[in-house]
Structures are given as C-alpha cells and as structure tokens.
Chains A and B, each alone.
Chain A
C-alpha cells in the first residue's frame, strides 16, 4: 500500500510539474507582454517608375526591453575580386574570392542608445553575427577582412545598413511600450523574399524574437521586360537591336526633315 501510495504521489507531482511548465510560460509572457510586430504591407510592387520605398513597422515590447529589427535578404554566393598590388605599385583586381551563403540584403535598425547592447556578440545581431554562416573560398583568404570590405561595398549601394537611433518608443503603459520604425527599401533591393525580424532584448539577454516575410515583386512593364529577357533571350536581343536601329533612323530622319523643311 505504501509503495502504491508513494508511486501515486510521485505521479501527481510529475503531472503537476508537467502542467505547470506551459501554464507558467504562458502566464509569464502574458504578464510581460510578448514581442509583437506588424508590417504595414507584406508585398511591395516594383512598377515602371519605382524608386525604392519605405515600410512602416510597428509593435510592442515589455517596458524594460529593447528591440532590434533586422531585414535580411536571399542568401547567395558572392563572387568578388580582391584588390592587391601588382609589380609593387599597381592596384588591381587580383584574386578571386567567393563569399558563400551571404545575404543579398542586411539592414539593422536599433533604438537610440541601445546599439552597443543589441549588437553584443552573445545576441547574434549585426554584421559580425552574419559571419558565422558565411563560408569563404578559397579558405586561405581572410574571411573577416573580405567580409568587412564587402560590407563597405554593399553599404555604398544601400543594401547593407546599420540604422542607429531609428526605432522610436511610445510611452509605456501597463508594463508595455510600443515601438515604430520606418524601414528603407532601396531600389537596389531586387525582387525576392525578405524577412523582417524583431528581437526583444532585456538585460543583455534575448527575450523573444518574431519574424514576418515581405515580398518584392515586379509588376507591369518591369515584369514584362524581365520575363522576356530571361525567357526568350535571343528574341529579346533582336528586339533590343531593332528598336535601337529604329530609334536611330527615326531621329536621323527627324533631323533631316527639320533641316530640309525650308
């Protein structure tokens, strides 16, 4: 009897513990208000006169937390030429280097004064954190250095960016504060799927993270041209030449017409 009783008690205790875990967690996140994020739009259409756009992101986090938003794009292999000195004094594109599994786009948004905490190595946010997924070939090359230079190149074209002080917070209410940020979508960001990820951090530790997808798609004229160029390249080539010649002839005739009118 006693043994049965003991077994039962252990059983109940275990059951109670098992039940308590999800209840405890659920209650905890409900109390602290979990990380919430919402995008103003999930698709961005690239039209004929498109020149990049912006995307509003809003959400909420616990009052004492900070949030970082990162936008990252399709991962691909990047083929680069490393510059080096030839004959001792001529700077030239010298060595072939590839960075594999590198995001085409990476933009980080942080609130005022929190960039340093948010990009600390343990959290895995920021350029440095990208490095661990990236592979370099040939392996003899200095990955950190090449990636750092690549980042400079991408920052120049606008697809990599660290936007400090870009997230604004609302006034806290019942332990929760709202955040808002305007994401930049540069025209250089090509059609494809991107993720917008929010990471809530409190006391230097990750609290929660959530992500949404945003799709950039070609529509109208850009779509027609792209599908023709990739779908029937030969026809596209002839068409391009034909239109160029026709324009040349037309302008040529207009000019002669203008000259000979009198």
Chain B
C-alpha cells in the first residue's frame, strides 16, 4: 500500500486510508453543514497523528471542503450570506472571549472537567432534542402524507420579545425578519463554546440555527458551511503561525477526499427531507456523545496521555 510521510506530524500514513477518511468526513460536511472536526480529530489520532497536528491540519482541510460545499450550496440558493457574515462576526468575537475564558478556567484548575461536562451535555441535549423533534416531524408528515419541504415551527411567546429588539433585518434566504442582534449573540455563544471545546462548532451552530433562529434546514447547511469556511481559514493561519502544527501533506490528502465528498454530500442533502437530515445529524451527534461518555466512564488502559489532546 502506498504510504506518504507527513513532515510535521512526523509519521507516515496510508494514502488511501486518509483519502477515504477525507471523503467520508467531506460527505458529512456536504450533507449536514458540519466541519466534521469532532469526528476527524479523534480518527486521525487513532492513526498516530499527534492531537495538535490532527486538529490544525483538519481545519486546513475544512477550508477546502467548505469551499467546495459552499459553492455547491450557493448554486442551490442555500447560502444566506448576510446571516453567515453576522454569525461569523459573532463567532470570531466569541472565539476570542472563549480563549480567555479557557485560560481563566485552566488557571483555576478543573478546566478539563468543565469542558468534558459541557461537551457531553451539549451533545446529549442538542442531539436528543433534535432527534425527538425530527422524529415527531417525520411521523406527522407520514400520517398526513404531506410533502414536507421546510417545516417552520414558531415559538409565539419568544417571538413577541424577539420582535421588539432593535435592528430588525429581513434575511431573504432564511425567510425570516429578525433583529441582527440575535444571530450576533448566537454567533458569540457558539464561538465561546467552540473555543472552549476546541472544535469548529458546526455541530452546535447547525441546531442553533434550526431551533433558535428558525431557519430552514437546507439554508442552515449552506450558511453553516459558508461560516465555517472563514472560521477555519483563521484557525489554519493562526495555527501555522504560532504553533507550526499544520501538516500540509496530511491536509492535502484529506482535502482531495473531502472536497469530492462535500460535492456528493450536497447532492445527497438535496434529495433528503429536512426532518431526515435532522434525524441523521442527531444520531451522529448522539453517537459522538455516547463515545465521549464511554471514554469518561471506562477505566483507561494507559494512565497518561500526551499533552495537547482534547
């Protein structure tokens, strides 16, 4: 089998394995609008890539996959650019705050405990709710034999408060008129969480857009990819500059797989109904949650780990 040497990771990998891994994660990215870092980083670590290099190279790869995915979704009219930009601004601000928060937590000790708990609760809560909600949606559409396109549920109690906020703006693609402050705050919230958890935040951003901003699922996927693209450009440059942890060979191998995967994923996404998309993503999130819980509860085989992992 063909192997290539990764000069920054300091290890060799099987070329086809990494191409396949990239393809798989790119597929998920195209379907769900998630970066896939929460899956990719642990998998790369399993293949002997140091955690810091795995995370940084993955963000470089996501730049490629999300470019490819955003382009495909843009053609389908699934990218709400103004919404994406506001989320991004919030995300960057939140990320900066998050980095400081994590420093503070580390100084106080027990940061890792809080991170792990946040992670599991977020994954469990978000995944569980999304699963249940989309299951109801699927049942309903089946019973009524309705061609469910984009189901838009409303929360009347919240709406009156949200409508009273200043800076109302009509987001055409998302089909909603809300205050600019709302996506900004949501962006900050996800940015903080993403920085604390050390992930891109796609899998938090998607449910947040669906349930808090009430955007149609397909637009959520496209807009999320658009937003992730810029987040990961920033992360890649910062990681290369300050930590030299981006392995270019690894990133390119992953890229070749993931950019193609993202195109296929977008095509798959187009064929699926919103509730089907949601329930699949929910299952994925719950799976990661269970895996994390197992990791927390089972006695480890080796009592030490190299510093720098999640």
Where the two chains meet, the residues of A that have a C-beta atom closer than 8 Å to any C-beta of B are: 46-52, 78-83, 86-87, 89-94, 96-97, 145-146, 149-150, 152-153, 156-157, 187-188, 190-191, 218, 221-223, 225-226, 229-230, 233-234, 236-241, 243-245, 247-253, 255-256
In the complex, the answer to whether B303 meets A82 with C-beta atoms within 8 Å is: yes
Stretch from B164-172, B212-220, B277-285, B291-299 that touches the partner: B291-299
A153 nearest CB neighbor, chain B only: B302
**A156-B302 contact given A233-B240, A236-B240, CB 8 Å threshold:** yes
Sampled A-B contacts (28; CB under 8 Å) = A46-B5, A52-B12, A79-B306, A82-B304, A90-B297, A91-B298, A96-B307, A146-B303, A149-B304, A152-B302, A157-B48, A188-B10, A225-B8, A229-B7, A234-B237, A237-B246, A244-B61, A244-B64, A244-B67, A245-B63, A245-B233, A247-B67, A247-B259, A248-B68, A248-B262, A252-B259, A256-B71, A256-B75
| Complex interface residues of chain B between 188 and 240 (CB less than 8 A to chain A) | 233, 236-240
B15 nearest CB neighbor, chain A only: A49
**A247-B255 contact given A150-B304, A153-B304, A233-B240, CB 8 Å threshold:** yes
Which residues of B lie under 8 Å from residue A190 when comparing CB positions?
A: 10
> In whole angstroms, what is the CA distance A97 to B237 when docked?
30
Q: Which of A50, A91, A149, A248 meets B64, CB within 8 Å?
A: A248
In the complex, the answer to whether A251 meets B244 with C-beta atoms within 8 Å is: no
A104 nearest CB neighbor, chain B only: B10
> In whole angstroms, what is the CA distance A47 to B299 when docked?
40
Task: Supply 14 further A-B pairs (C-beta < 8 A) apart from A49-B2, A251-B263.
Answer: A49-B3, A80-B306, A91-B298, A152-B301, A153-B306, A190-B10, A218-B7, A230-B244, A237-B241, A243-B255, A248-B67, A248-B69, A250-B259, A253-B71
Interface string of B258-271 (1 = CB under 8 A from A): 01101100000000
Which residues of A lie under 8 Å from residue B68 when comparing CB positions?
A: 247-249, 251-252
> In whole angstroms, what is the CA distance A47 to B3 when docked?
11
Which residues of A lie under 8 Å from residue B259 when comparing CB positions?
A: 247-248, 250-252
Stretch from B96-104, B109-117, B143-151 that touches the partner: B109-117
Q: Which of B2, B66, B307 meets A80, CB within 8 Å?
A: B307
> In whole angstroms, what is the CA distance A192 to B14 when docked?
23
**A48-B4 contact given A93-B309, A241-B60, CB 8 Å threshold:** yes
Q: Which of A52, A93, A250, A251 meets B305, CB within 8 Å?
A: A93
> In whole angstroms, what is the CA distance A145 to B303 when docked?
9
In the complex, the answer to whether B302 meets A244 with C-beta atoms within 8 Å is: no
> Distance (Å) between the CB of B168 and the closest chain A CB?
34
**A225-B7 contact given A79-B307, A81-B307, CB 8 Å threshold:** yes
B256 within 8 Å of A (CB atoms): yes
In the complex, the answer to whether B302 meets A245 with C-beta atoms within 8 Å is: no
> Distance (Å) between the CB of B282 and the closest chain A CB?
24
| Complex interface residues of chain B between 123 and 179 (CB less than 8 A to chain A) | none
> In whole angstroms, what is the CA distance A218 to B297 when docked?
42
Which residues of A lie under 8 Å from residue B87 when comparing CB positions?
A: none
> Distance (Å) between the CB of B205 and the closest chain A CB?
19
**A240-B305 contact given A49-B4, A91-B295, A218-B7, CB 8 Å threshold:** no
Which residues of A lie under 8 Å from residue B5 when comparing CB positions?
A: 46-51, 187, 222
> In whole angstroms, what is the CA distance A118 to B31 when docked?
59
| Complex interface residues of chain B between 44 and 81 (CB less than 8 A to chain A) | 48, 60-61, 63-69, 71-72, 75
Q: Which of B72, B112, B251 meets A93, CB within 8 Å?
A: B112
Residue of A191, A244, A250, A251 most packed against chain B (CB within 10 A): A244
B64 nearest CB neighbor, chain A only: A244
B120 nearest CB neighbor, chain A only: A90
In the complex, the answer to whether A248 meets B3 with C-beta atoms within 8 Å is: no
Which residues of A lie under 8 Å from residue B12 when comparing CB positions?
A: 50-52, 187
In the complex, the answer to whether A248 meets B113 with C-beta atoms within 8 Å is: no
In the complex, the answer to whether A234 meets B246 with C-beta atoms within 8 Å is: no
> In whole angstroms, what is the CA distance A241 to B236 when docked?
7
**A86-B246 contact given A52-B12, A157-B48, A244-B64, CB 8 Å threshold:** no
In the complex, the answer to whether A244 meets B300 with C-beta atoms within 8 Å is: no
B116 nearest CB neighbor, chain A only: A92
> In whole angstroms, what is the CA distance A221 to B71 when docked?
31
Q: Which of B61, B67, B299, B303 meets A252, CB within 8 Å?
A: B67
B236 nearest CB neighbor, chain A only: A241
B118 within 8 Å of A (CB atoms): no
**A236-B248 contact given A47-B5, A91-B296, A241-B236, CB 8 Å threshold:** yes
Which residues of A lie under 8 Å from residue B299 when comparing CB positions?
A: 91
In the complex, the answer to whether B110 meets A86 with C-beta atoms within 8 Å is: yes
Q: Which of A150, A191, A245 meets B67, CB within 8 Å?
A: A245
In the complex, the answer to whether A244 meets B255 with C-beta atoms within 8 Å is: yes
Which residues of A lie under 8 Å from residue B89 when comparing CB positions?
A: none
Which residues of A lie under 8 Å from residue B295 when comparing CB positions?
A: 91
Q: Which of A52, A87, A241, A249 meets B113, CB within 8 Å?
A: A87
B122 within 8 Å of A (CB atoms): no
